[in-house]
Homo-oligomer: A and B are copies of this chain.
């Protein structure tokens, strides 16, 4: 299991009429959480696409909204890779506000495909980067 935290401040344009972070905008925060978690162990997602021709489209996504996130709050996005990837990779994320109260829980599962949309298994360089943590 590997866990990494990154911080994101809620932008004005991401709030909605209710005054809170719009429920659909969490998906970008989860994306940033995943990308920075991978970067922290040397996996640059941009290179996966541009150099290795491996793409990770989201296959499943489930989330519970625990309390609202307010404008200008600096949220902590805690992302966990709970198990070694194979045909899919899972990311479990908890989002906390500045008082370390739980804001959101999410589980996102991504597939591996190449540029021709053919399904792949987790590439070797990813497995090697992750292996020390499992």
In contact, A13 and B16 (Cβ under 8 angstroms)? yes
| Binary interface encoding of chain A residues 54-95 relative to chain B, with 1 for a CB under 8 A from any of its CBs, else 0 | 010111111111001001100000000000000000000000
Q: Which residues of B contact A18 (CB under 8 A)?
A: 55, 57
How far is B12's CA from A31's CA once the two chains are assembled, in angstroms?
Answer: 8
Number of copies of chain A assembled together:
4
Number of chain A residues whose Cβ lies closer than 8 Å to a Cβ of chain B: 38
Q: Name A's interface SS.
A: mixed
Which residues from B are CB-within-8-Å of A68?
Answer: 57
Residue among A12, A28, A55, A65 facing the most chain B CB atoms (10 A cut-off): A12
Task: Find the B residue at minimum CB distance from A17.
Answer: B15
* Inter-chain contact A13/B22, CB cutoff 8 Å: yes
Whether the Cβ atoms of B60 and A61 lie closer than 8 Å is no
Residues of A within 8 A of B (CB): 9, 11-20, 22-28, 31-32, 35, 44-46, 49, 55, 57-65, 68, 71-72
